[in-house]
């Protein structure tokens, strides 16, 4: 009898602690949810850190123009910044599913992307350029891209543009550097990619060059989940950082011309 009683008692105690635990757990997780914007003060930035000078890894750290502008925005708004490196074509999904608070990756504002995310005001401009081998290239202009093998980074605007080129054989790589490698190995005839990373690739790989003729101008901006109130705060911070010269000086630190 005693045994049964103590078993019931122990059971009841277990129950109470289980209840307390779950109440606690429930509490903790609801704080964590609202913290995405207010309490925890950590904002997750989704990026693809293989895109010098905007984001790349140096001594195990993601550095570059985007990393520094993001840090300056977070500092201004009182958040800590956590940078999550992923494939470029995973960034928008990370943002729409709430895995990341924002995406910043030399990302061009496009109408198609605007259907799934909101963009801040642009923070800089870019152009898509064509990289070819210096010797014996079959491609000397945009028109020459017809029918050629063209390397791009998967899911980028470069990918989008060349998908419209007649009879082009588009080779999609998860990194721009792999597209450039394919070019130097003669596996593709050209690579279409953003101008600044293109310059970095040309500096690192002898024997390749950028053609004068380029594709349309683009604007880079930060993307956030649709309707996220942070977008307005980011825009205010970004405006202040543009007005006081911070954005310019960050860009000048990485792009010397
Ligand atoms: N600007 C291009 C786009 O938005 C390419 C961006 C690639 N960025 C990167 N971090 N890999 O599609």
Cα 28 from Cα 226, distance rounded (Å): 26
Structure confidence by residue, pLDDT tens digits, 10-50: 444 433 333 332 332 223 333 334 444 445 599 999 999 99
Evaluate if residue 1 carries a pLDDT over 50.
no
Structure confidence by residue, pLDDT tens digits, 65-87: 999 999 999 999 999 999 999 99
Running DSSP on this structure, what letter comes out for residue 109? P
257: pLDDT confidence band, cut at 50, 70 and 90?
Answer: confident
Q: For ligand 1, is residue 107 a contact (CB within 6 Å)?
A: yes
Q: For ligand 1, is residue 48 a contact (CB within 6 Å)?
A: yes
Cα 200 from Cα 15, distance rounded (Å): 62
Per-residue pLDDT at 42: 97
Distance 185 CA to ligand 1 centre (A): 23
Running DSSP on this structure, what letter comes out for residue 221? -
9: pLDDT confidence band, cut at 50, 70 and 90?
Answer: very low
Distance 107 CA to ligand 1 centre (A): 5
Mutation test residue for ligand 1: of 127, 194, 216, 217, the one with most atoms within 8 Å of CB = 194
Structure confidence by residue, pLDDT tens digits, 115-171: 999 999 999 999 999 999 999 999 999 999 999 999 999 999 999 999 999 999 999
Between 32 and 232, name the one with better pLDDT: 232
180: pLDDT confidence band, cut at 50, 70 and 90?
Answer: very high
Atom of ligand 1 nearest to the CA of 157: 12
Atom of ligand 1 nearest to the CA of 218: 1
Mutation test residue for ligand 1: of 55, 90, 106, 129, the one with most atoms within 8 Å of CB = 106
Q: For ligand 1, is residue 55 a contact (CB within 6 Å)?
A: yes
Structure confidence by residue, pLDDT tens digits, 210-220: 999 988 899 99
Per-residue pLDDT at 40: 52
Cα angle value 197/203/207 (rounded, 5°) = 115
Q: Are 226 and 162 in contact (CB under 8 A)?
A: no
Cα 230 from Cα 226, distance rounded (Å): 10
> For all residues of the chain together, what is the average pLDDT?
88
DSSP β-ladder status, 217-220 and 61-63: unpaired
Per-residue pLDDT at 22: 30
Mutation test residue for ligand 1: of 45, 108, 126, 161, the one with most atoms within 8 Å of CB = 108
Distance 77 CA to ligand 1 centre (A): 26
The mean per-residue pLDDT over the stretch 227-240 comes to 98
Per-residue pLDDT at 249: 98
Q: For ligand 1, is residue 105 a contact (CB within 6 Å)?
A: yes
Mutation test residue for ligand 1: of 54, 57, 83, 107, the one with most atoms within 8 Å of CB = 107
Per-residue pLDDT at 214: 87
Per-residue pLDDT at 39: 56
């Amino acid at each position: 009898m005693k045994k049964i009683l103590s078993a019931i008692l122990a059971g009841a105690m277990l129950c109470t602690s289980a209840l307390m635990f779950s109440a606690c757990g429930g509490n903790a997780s609801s704080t964590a949810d609202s913290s995405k914007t207010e309490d925890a003060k950590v904002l997750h930035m989704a990026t693809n850190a293989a895109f010098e000078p905007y984001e790349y890894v140096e001594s195990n750290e993601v550095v570059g123009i985007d990393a520094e502008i993001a840090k300056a925005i977070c500092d201004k708004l009182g958040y800590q910044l956590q940078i999550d490196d992923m494939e470029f074509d995973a960034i928008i999904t990370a943002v729409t599913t709430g895995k990341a608070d924002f995406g910043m990756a030399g990302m061009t504002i496009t109408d198609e992307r605007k259907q799934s995310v909101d963009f801040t005001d642009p923070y800089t401009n870019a152009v898509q350029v064509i990289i070819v081998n210096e010797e014996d290239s079959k491609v000397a202009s945009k028109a020459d891209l017809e029918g050629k093998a063209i390397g791009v980074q998967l899911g980028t605007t470069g990918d989008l543009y060349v998908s419209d080129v007649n009879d082009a054989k588009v080779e999609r790589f998860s990194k721009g550097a792999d597209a450039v490698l394919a070019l130097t190995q003669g596996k593709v005839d050209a690579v279409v990619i953003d101008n600044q990373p293109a310059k970095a690739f040309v500096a690192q790989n002898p024997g390749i060059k950028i053609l004068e003729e380029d594709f349309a101008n683009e604007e880079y901006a930060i993307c956030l989940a649709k309707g996220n109130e942070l977008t307005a705060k980011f825009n205010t911070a970004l405006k202040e950082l543009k007005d006081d010269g911070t954005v310019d000086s960050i860009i000048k630190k990485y792009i010397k011309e």
